[in-house]
Structure 1
Amino acid sequence: MKASFQTVAEQIQSLEADGVIADHHTAEILHRIGEYVIVDRYGAFFLAPLASKKTGLRIFEPYTTFQDIYHLYLFDRALRQLMFEFFAIAEASLKSVSCYQFCRMSRTRHDAYLDESYYNPLESSVHVERLIEDFRAILGHHSRKNQPAKDYIRQYRSAHGDVPLRVIMPALTLGQTFKFYCFQNESVRNSIAREFAELYRQSYGSHLRLSPRRLRLAFDHIKDFRNICAHGEQLYCARISPSRDVTISRAFSDLKLVLSKHDFSRLQDHFADLLYQAASQFDRPHFAKLLISMGFHRYDPRRKA
């Protein structure tokens, strides 16, 4: 069992005792990033499973270098940064389409989003009430949360009075936007799904059958993976959904439903660049293991949407 505190020199000695080959960059990297972030989180990829299980110790595969572990850390960090960009584009689309369709259905009232009667009556009233409380907090009207409204919201209210949904929509988190979509009446959710299907047709030139349920699943995955990116957690090996069987590979098929063809092609290109770099840094077995960890048993980055 490791001591509660080790100097960087002691950390390197411990790594070398476990079979990791350090170099003259190791100390600086450990100082800047930390052993826990790099080795404890990414070293497991290079452990010898049988030897580690048999001894109960951390035993690395023969010839594992610290740079191997560091490269996996860098790959995952770059993957998070890449995916976060396109999750944000998808989030913006959900906000825009959901807001448009809800307001189209309730055009006679600027503040309909604050009225529980405009939501699905089959949805839990407690859930809807909490969402409306979030809206009131964004407006600066929630006494308990004591959250001041953003400047652009206060300025709009000062100039125009009631604040319509389109003004507060940018202030919503993806989680709040996802709940807003899920709590809509069936007619609104159908309209939202149809608009995304029409956007897909316009961009890709082909028809898409997109149900509200499929759209909900897509954004449920996008939301969860986006949170992993935002909190700096491991993305390449992440598993989400109640059954823990959804990998980051699924996010690509989800994103294709809601991104333009141009944006999805950009995502594929940047992801291909990451894979090409990883292929040059890892041997073939480890690169194959990396692909499988992400849910790709094979991946052809040249194949376009």
Structure 2
Amino acid sequence: MDKPFKTYNQQLKILRTRNLNIPNGSKALRILRRENYYNIINGYKDIFLDKGYATDRFKDGTSFDDIYALYSFDRNLRSILLKYILRLESSLKTKIAYRFSEKYPSNFSCFDISNFRSNITSVTNLIAHISNDIKNNVETPRPGTQTSPFSHYLNVHKELPLWVLIKRLSLGETSYFYTALTDDLQLKVLNDIYTEYQQEYGLSPRKSAVINDTSSFSQMVKFVVTFRNLCAHGERMYDYIAKYKGRIPSIQFFFLDPSPRFNSKVVDVVRVLGLFLMKSDYKSLLKELSIEIKSLSDELPQSTMNAVLIKAGFSKNWKSDLMLPRRQLID
């Protein structure tokens, strides 16, 4: 079916015929000019629709401001999570580079296929990705100009340590790199992260919780990559459920006791971040989430707000559910 062009005023007229209350037409026009009808209405209308109609009709009492409030909440949620996912990314990259370079200190060791797992095809693809990153980011030195640290190492030192190269990798490529590591290095990286987590929260050692969980950890990182991409590309996130090959991945929060059920939703991203962040950063994350949830709850009817939280995976007592981990006993 054709979708002919509609002026902003025509867009508002259509919304009114669909039972949407627009208390301030001038304000709505300013928002549409700035944000785009498709992004706001098509992106966030579903939770406000009356399911008793075959065509789009909004529930009685729904306003344009309600939809825009949810749109703004989701945008702010993406911004908050991206900020802390970048800290997760930095921590993971640092530990991978350290452990890999510790075991393989020779120059360009990350290009030696024998330093990875035996899956030749996947490792070859990984090395090809790294090679492309180098080709795309090397600068030719020019008199009187300063090159990036990346180019400096190649041009001056004739080497490219992994701790320099890994900064150029995306989180997705970093996740792939971790999966390609040999078992001993995967475990060392995970132990480094888990040890920091224990120290941050003053937890007693639970070594057995880590030994066999590198597979679950790999899936955790892959899961976060999905949400990082949603954040980076401005996609609707609050009700997103990450699936791989049509299924929710089987992930255990091995660092939490008891382990909450994993539903592959926004709330699970918050829990994963808890493993990586400093205690102060995790507190700040929860505080920022609380502010945004409170702001949205002031705008929406209680029933709609409850539906939003459920879709995001937050329970009624989400604050206590996501509290800092409690002290654990030695196994």
TM over 0.5: yes
Partner of 2:94: 96
- Are 2:131 and 1:136 equivalent residues in the alignment? yes
Partners of 2:138 and 2:150 within 8 A in 1: yes
After superposition, the C-alpha distances for 1:65-98 in whole angstroms (9 at most, x for unaligned) are: 0000000000000000000001110011110011
Aligned to 2:319, what secondary structure does the other structure show? coil
Q: Which residue of 2 aligns with 1:212?
A: 214
Which SS does the other structure have where 1:71 is aligned? helix
1:241 corresponds in structure 2 to 243
8 Å contact kept, 1:43–1:69: yes
In 2, distance between residues paired with 1:270 and 1:232? 19
Cα offset, 1:167, TM superposition: 1.1
Shift, 1:251, TM fit: 0.8
* Greater displacement, 161-170 / 291-300: 291-300
- Greater shift, 254-263 or 64-73, is seen at 254-263
Q: Where do 5+ consecutive residues of structure 1 fail to align? A: 141-146
Q: How does 1:72-87 map to 2 (within 5 A)?
A: 72-87=70-85
> Shift of residue 62 of structure 1?
0.2
Q: Deviations over 1:110-169 (max 9, x none)?
A: 211011100011x3x2221111112112222xxxxxx24253222112221111111111
Distance 1:187 1:213 in 2: 13
1:299 paired residue number: 317
Mapped to 2, the partners of 1:203 and 1:78 lie a distance apart of 27
TM-score normalised by structure 1 residue count: 0.92
Say whether 1:191 aligns with 2:180: no
Q: CA RMSD in A?
A: 1.5
Aligned to 1:173: 170
1:5 partnered with 2:5: yes
Name which of 143, 151, 155 aligns with 2:152: 155
**Counterpart residue type for residue 58 of structure 1:** D
SS state of the match for residue 52, structure 2?
helix
CA distance in 2, matches of 1:106, 1:156: 18
Amino acid at match of 1:214: S
Instruction: Quickly say closer, same or farther: Cα 1:95–1:148, change in 2 above 3 A.
Output: closer
Q: Secondary structure at the match of 2:238?
A: coil
Shift of 1:298: 1.9
TM-score where L is the length of structure 2: 0.85
Partner in structure 2 of residue 269 of structure 1: 287
Q: Which residue of 1 is the match for residue 227 of structure 2?
A: 225
Q: Which amino acid aligns with 1:165?
A: L
Q: Distance in 2 between matches of 1:196 and 1:233?
A: 29
- Aligned residue pairs total 292
1:182-204 superposed Cα distances (whole Å, 9 cap, x missing partner): 00000100111111111111111
Partner of residue 103, structure 2: 105
Contact 1:75 1:274 in 2 (8 A): yes
* 1:11-42 CA distance string (max 9 Å, x none): 11100000001123111111111110100110
Contact persistence 1:269–1:301 (CA under 8 A): no
Deviation per CA, 1:282-303: give whole Å up to 9, x if none: 1110110010010123234366
What amino acid is the match of 1:126?
A: T
For residue 231 of structure 2, give the secondary structure of its aligned residue in structure 1: helix
The verdict on how the C-alpha distance between 1:71 and 1:225 changes in structure 2, with shifts beyond 3 A counting, is same
Matches of 2:176 and 2:243, distance apart in 1: 16
Indicate the percent of aligned positions where both proteins have the same amino acid. Answer: 24
Contact 2:137 2:151 in 1 (8 A): no
Instruction: Give distance in 2, aligned partners of 1:81 and 1:75.
Output: 10
Q: What SS does the aligned partner of 1:50 have?
A: coil
Separation in structure 2 between the aligned mates of residue 261 and residue 299 of structure 1, nearest angstrom:
21
Whether contact under 8 Å (1:218, 1:255) holds in the other structure is no
Which SS does the other structure have where 1:154 is aligned?
Answer: helix
Q: Structure 1 residue runs of 4+, over 4 Å off? A: none
Q: Does the 8 Å CA contact 1:47/1:59 hold for their aligned counterparts?
A: yes
5+ residue gaps, structure 2:
140-147, 249-262, 325-331
CA–CA separation in structure 2 for the residues paired with 1:157 and 1:148: 11
